Structure 1
């Protein structure tokens, strides 16, 4: 009979083989056009993904009291994982994890990612390719986080952006929730001697999740509202990037105009059902 550490190493070997064979299914760089089009259908022009975190519990004191591993995941509008960075201790700040990840290096250092054309908005503004991120991340030119404040403290454009942003962030919660629902072993508290293998197990499950989506397999249902609330992290309190602010403001204005036009059309159809609405 194998001891726990030996079993972990054997399982790790299998997971590493799967990652080597299916690693191409993280399609952030190879399928960016499909990704942008998908987000366009949910009112997010030129968006290239939604970035968030999940926590995976581990026994022992190696990660401190109530310690866990943090996993940073980027997903598309269909809930596929585009990039996964696993194995970060929960004691690390989210922005530190971001800046040490391969995703950040690909965007901010090598410029291999998010280097596509800007999108021209109808009001004359243009926005670069970007991704949405949780409020625990810093606002960057390519990473748009929500406006901070309560509903009554935001103007209509800021509220419109936060509303769409919140719907986008649910994609991350749904993706991680489905991975957990299908592979129950991820919800167990892993032994600390498996700390090196566990991140590979998580990445393997995310890749298999993508594979099943590609095969049109039915996906398990999850309670996104509960999941999102459970995983809440503290908002970032550092400096705000001015280019990021301008991009977010331009997108917020665009989303607010779209919402206003939709409301106007809805009112006309409600009270004047026989009116024919034409558009150029």
Structure 2
């Protein structure tokens, strides 16, 4: 029997007629651009040797897989009707590639057979996972006596670290952009770090706009508060001449002179060169750490194109990954530094003004050290 389909139907009529078999139904399908993942699935995972992993992911495959295991619970995703979820290994690889290479999101996506938005999501999710799970385990003060012994061997007694700040170039933020323009004229975010005698980060502070002076950042950091209260290091004093000296950290002339923070002499340097030389030699570990950090993770030299909210976690993740690579003895390739120096030429580090204030007692400690160094 023929059945006429009415010209006008109310809401839900097509569903009713489909159930009665009066109209044909078509399965609803999601559409997605087909991309190839063969390069990652079959070449990188199965063919690449350790030298290729190190060159491209800044670490050997064993370290990479260990990281994936540590972050697996945080990064595991469920499949959807649209597509299969990325594996933890692929998310990690995408993020490391983007952090290490000065490539755009589209280029990285083409390598892995994903969209550029997927690359951005992977970078943020991996950075968040590293910050949440690994930061407190990896960037921390460990054996203070080993650190003090390391600096003593370099020429400075009772020293627990060297502090400095560095500017990370970023794109102009959507809000309060003028606060991020540093004195060199580009937008930046500041990373403050304390490092040990081996140049590994023991404390970091990330997120201050580039316009803010290093000293202001330092005085408003948790590190300053703990050092001022005497709870960051153990209460371990030595006697230099006739002056008691606690465990100190070393800074450049931009930092204040404090009983627990030594900085070089400025102005006339009569009889002070030996002190400045030893302090500078030990303080160089933090500058070298920043150089190696940026050389391993080139994203820190190429204007991070993320929101101001996401950037601190990405910088933090790079610091954590740097510590992991250094502690595991992952090779540092000379080619990375050459390329980093080329990239860094576009973003000169701002100069810092000398701060001449000194806290009571600090000049006596510095003078005693100066005399001790001259006599030795």
TM over 0.5: yes
Deviation at 1:124, TM superposition (A): 4.2
* 1:114-153 equivalences in 2 (<5 Å): 114-121=233-240, 123-149=241-267, 153=268
Superposed displacement of residue 257, structure 1: 1.8
Q: Do the aligned partners of 1:71 and 1:85 also contact (CA within 8 Å) in 2?
A: yes
CA contact 1:12–1:197 (8 Å) conserved in 2: yes
Partner residue of 1:177 out of 278, 291, 311: 291
Cα shift at 1:39: 0.6
Match of 1:97 in 2: 217
Cα separation, 1, equivalents of 2:216 and 2:273: 28
User: CA, structure 1 residues 216+95, in 2 after alignment: closer, same or farther (shift >3 Å)?
Assistant: same
C-alpha displacement of 1:187:
1.1
CA contact (8 A) 1:133 1:145 kept: yes
TM, length-normalised to structure 1: 0.79
State the SS of the aligned residue for 2:227.
helix
The CA distance in 2 between the partners of 1:183 and 1:216, in whole Å, is: 16
| Superposition pairs of residues 183-262 of structure 1, within 5 angstroms | 183-191=297-305, 193-221=306-334, 222=337, 230-231=348-349, 233-258=351-376
- Is contact 1:47-1:131 (8 Å) kept? yes
SS in 2 for 1:175: helix
CA distance in 2, matches of 1:100, 1:3: 37
> In structure 1, what is the Cα distance between the partners aligned to 2:358 and 2:243?
20
Which TM-score applies when normalising by structure 2? 0.60
Q: Secondary structure at the match of 2:190?
A: strand
Q: 1:8 to 1:134 in 2, by over 3 A?
A: farther
Residue 25 (1) aligns with residue 154 (2): no
Q: Which residue of 2 aligns with 1:107?
A: 227
Q: Deviations over 1:108-149 (max 9, x none)?
A: 24x32134211233x444311100012111111111111112
Alpha carbons 2:213, 2:352 under 8 Å: kept: no
Q: Give secondary structure in 2 for the equivalent of 1:218.
A: coil
Counterpart in 1 of 2:192? 72
Counterpart for residue 148 of structure 2 = 36
Q: 2:270 aligns with which of 155, 160, 168?
A: 155
Q: Quick one: distance in 2 between partners of 1:42 and 1:238?
A: 26
RMSD: 2.6
- Alignment partner of 1:195: what SS? coil
1:167-223: CA deviation from partner (whole Å, max 9, x where unpaired): 1222111101111111111111123x5222111111111111111222122234558
In structure 1, the gaps of 5 or more residues are 259-280
Q: Which piece of structure 1 moves more, 17-26 or 99-108? A: 17-26
Kindly tell me: are residues 231 and 251 of structure 1, through their superposed partners in 2, closer, same or farther at Cα, counting changes over 3 Å?
farther
SS of residue matched to 1:242? coil
What is the CA distance between 1:242 and its match in structure 2? 2.6
3-state secondary structure, aligned to 1:135: coil
What does 1:259-270 correspond to in 2, within 5 Å?
A: none
- Alpha-carbon distance, 1:37 to partner: 1.1
Where 1:12 maps in the other structure, the secondary structure is helix
Q: Is the 8 A contact 1:81 1:210 kept in 2?
A: yes
Choose 1 or 2 for highest CA Rg. Answer: 2
